[in-house]
Amino acid sequence: MRKVIVIAIMSLDGYVAGPGGDVMVLPMDHAFDEYNLECMHTAGTTLLGRVSYEGFKGFWPTVDGNPAFGPVQQEFSRLDNQVAKVVVSDTLTTDRTAPWTDTTTIVRRAAAHQAVAELKQGAESEGAIVVWGSRTLWTDLLAAGLVDELHLMVGPVVLGDGVAAFEGGKAPAMSLIDARTWEGSDNVLLRYAVAAN
């Protein structure tokens, strides 16, 4: 059985984006980049909502080989360009997936739960199903009992407003797997296993 793992960065007061959906207010430092790369090495599939997919598609293909970016980001870019991607969207069409057309499968929202359940039926050796960004998608999958782990990187910023990680303060029961820190970073990674529904 494959796991669905959500990776998110959030503020101390529980926001995954600031006002207007601004994610750049979050402390995406070297620890964030290094952990994302670590997770990409274990990913067999990335699972994204349309907004995150289009944002990533506009950025990550340009990073590999670009000297403005460090080796961690360049390696993430190489792997991201190759990994299988499943995008949940009612509006995205294949003609808007280049340069990732060959690695992208589009699933309509009504079919998303079934599609994710089927992806999970694969062997562990096929790699994890990793969700980056895509808060609307992962909170829906979490409520449906389809998320196995939440990996939350908490940064020392207080936003006071924005996009809350958990609407209405609702979240399933979770148990801590571990907590990690990185030298030179004030971010803390908290990895949780989500209790089965």
Residue 88: which residues within 8 A CB-CB, separation 6 or more? Answer: 47, 48, 49, 50, 107, 108, 109, 112, 115, 134, 137
Question: pLDDT per position in the chain (197 positions), as tens?
Answer: 999 999 999 999 999 999 998 999 999 999 999 999 999 999 999 999 999 999 999 999 999 999 999 999 999 999 999 999 999 999 999 999 999 999 999 999 999 999 999 999 988 889 999 999 889 999 999 999 999 999 999 999 999 999 999 877 677 889 999 999 999 999 999 999 998 75
Residue 34 CA to residue 76 CA, distance in Å, equals 9
Element (H, E) at 144: none
Domain boundary assignment for the chain: 4-194
Task: Name the CATH topology of 4-194.
Answer: Dihydrofolate Reductase, subunit A (3.40.430)
Question: What pLDDT is attached to residue 154?
Answer: 97
